[in-house]
Amino acid sequence: MKKLALAAALLAFVSPAEARTILFIGNSFTYGANSAVHYYKADTVTDLNGPAANGKTVGGVPAIFKAFTKEAGLDYTVSLETVGGKGLDYHVAEKRAVIDKPWDEVVMHGYSTMDQAHPGDPALLIASTKQIADLLRARNPNVKLHLLATWSRADQVYPANAPAVWKGKPVQQMGRDLMAGNLAAAQGANIADVIPLGLAWNRAIDTGVAGADPYAGVPAGKINLWTWDSYHASAYYLEALMDFGRVTGRDPQSLGDAETVADDLGFSRPQTHALQQIAHDELAAQGR
C-alpha cells in the first residue's frame, strides 16, 4: 500500500498533466532588457503579450527559470506578462484579461524605484500589491505569491543628474530601501514571500564578487552586475537563481557550476559558482 502511494506520488510528480503553472508579472527587469537574456529560449515559455513589434517574444528570466527547473527534474509550465517601465498598478489596470487565471505560483515585482513619479515612495507598491494579490487569489485561493524585491540602480546613485532620493548614497542603500518597501507591501497583502534579490545584489558587491560602481569601470576579476546603461542587469542569471530557490525550495547551488544556462550566457564556471553561492547565502540569511 505504501509502495502504491509512493508510485502514485511519483507518477503525479512526473506527469505533464500535473505540471505546476507559474506566471511572471513584471517589466524589463524580468524580460531581461539590454542583455542576451531578453530572447533566450523564448520557445520554452509562453509570452502572454505575444510578439513585439520586432516579431519576437520574450524568453527572459522566466526562460532561465524554466531551464533551471528542467535541469533539476522539475515540471513547470511557465508564462510571463511583461511590459517595460511599468509597476503592478499597470498590470492590474491594463492586463487583467491575460493574468486573471488560476495560477499555482506567481512571481511579480513593481517599478524599479517603487513609483516612477515619486521615486522611493512605497505607497503605490503597497496599494497595487494588495490589488493584484486579491485579483489572483479570487481565481485560485491557494496561489503562492512571490514578491520580487529588485536591485539598486547604479544610475540612480552615481550620475550628477540622478534624482535626489538615492543620489550620492552607498549603492547598497537603494536595494535595502526596496526590500523594506516590498516587505511592507507583502505584509499588507498577506504575501509570505519576498524574494530578496536586491539584497543578493548587495551581497555580491559586499563580498567582492561584483564591482560597486560601473561608471568607474570594472575591477579585475569582478563581474559587472549591470548592463551598459548601469540600470538594467547583466546578471539576470542571479535573479533567476533567486526565483528558482524561493519558488522550488531547491538550493540554487544544487544546479552546479556546470549547468548550461551560465555557459550559454558567457559566464565562466568560477563566476557561476560565485553567483550560485551568493544566491545560496542570501536565501540562507533570510531563513530559507
Partner 1 sequence: MKPGMLLGAGALLALSFAPASARTVLFLGSSFTYGAHSAAQHYHPELVKDLNGPDRNGETYAGVPAIFKQFTLEAGLNDYDVSSELVGGKGLEYWFTVPDTLARINKPWDVVVMHGFSTLDQAKPGDRTLLLSSSKQIAAMFLKANPNARLWLFATWGRADQVYPDNAPPVWKGKTPQQMGKDVQAAYEQAVKEEPRYAGIVPVGLAWNRAIDSGVADVNPYDGLDANKVDLWAYDHYHASSYGYYLEALMDFGKLTAHDPLELKGKDRVAEALGISPAQSTALMQVAHDTLAGSK
CB nearer to partner 1: pick between 163 and 219: 219
Is residue 219 at the binding interface for partner 1, with CB under 8 A as the rule? yes
DSSP 63-117: HHHHHHHHHTT--EEEEEEE-TT--HHHHHHH-HHHH-S--SEEEE---TTS-SS
Pick one of 94, 258, 268, 284: the residue that binds partner 1 (CB under 8 A): 268
Sheet of 76-82, strands arranged across: 46-47, 76-82, 20-26, 105-108, 144-148, 193-195
Segment contacting partner 1 (CB under 8 A): 31-39, 93-101, 177-185, 280-288?
Answer: 31-39
CB-based contact 57:113 (threshold 8 Å): no
User: By CB under 8 A, is residue 117 in contact with partner 1?
Assistant: no
The DSSP code for 243 is: H
What backbone phi and psi angles, to 5 degrees, belong to 102? -80, 75
Instruction: Please pick, from the candidates 69, 82, 112, 234, the single residue that binds partner 1 as defined by CB under 8 A.
Output: 234
CB 230 within 8 A of CB 161: no
How far apart are CB 205 and partner 1 at their closest, in Å? 15
DSSP label at residue 16: G
C-alpha of 285 from chain center = 18
Residue 162 in the binding site for partner 1 (CB under 8 A): no
Restricted to residues 244-263, the positions that interact with partner 1 (CB under 8 A) are 260, 263
89: nearest Cα among 111, 104, 64, 59? 111
**Closest distance to partner 1 from the beta carbon of 28 (Å):** 12
Q: Verify binding: residue 160, partner 1, rule CB under 8 A.
A: no
214 φψ region: left (φ > 0), alpha (ψ -120 to 50), beta (else): alpha
Q: Are the CB atoms for 119 and 156 separated by under 8 Å?
A: yes
Identified binder of partner 1 from the candidate list 104, 193, 251, 264, rule CB under 8 A: 264
Q: Which stretch binds partner 1 (CB under 8 A): 69-77, 100-108, 198-206, 215-223?
A: 215-223
Q: Is 281 in the site for partner 1 (CB under 8 A)?
A: no
* Residue nearer to partner 1 on the CB measure, 38 or 95: 38
Q: Pick the binder of partner 1 from 19, 162, 183, 218 (CB under 8 A).
A: 218
For partner 1, which is the closer residue by CB, 18 or 263? 263
Q: Give residues with Cβ within 8 angstroms of 126, minimum separation 6.
A: 181, 184, 185, 188
Number of residues that bind partner 1 (CB under 8 A): 30
* H or E stretch at 147: strand 144-148
Longest dimension (CA), the chain: 70
Query: How far apart are CB 45 and partner 1 at their closest, in Å?
Result: 16
Stretch that binds partner 1, among 12-20, 35-43, 117-125, 148-156 (CB under 8 A): 35-43
The mark string for 168-207 relative to partner 1 (x by CB under 8 A, - otherwise) is ----------------------------------------
Q: Does 271 bind partner 1 (CB under 8 A)?
A: yes
Q: What residues make contact with partner 1 under the rule CB under 8 A?
A: 34-40, 54, 214-222, 224, 227-229, 234, 260, 263-268, 271
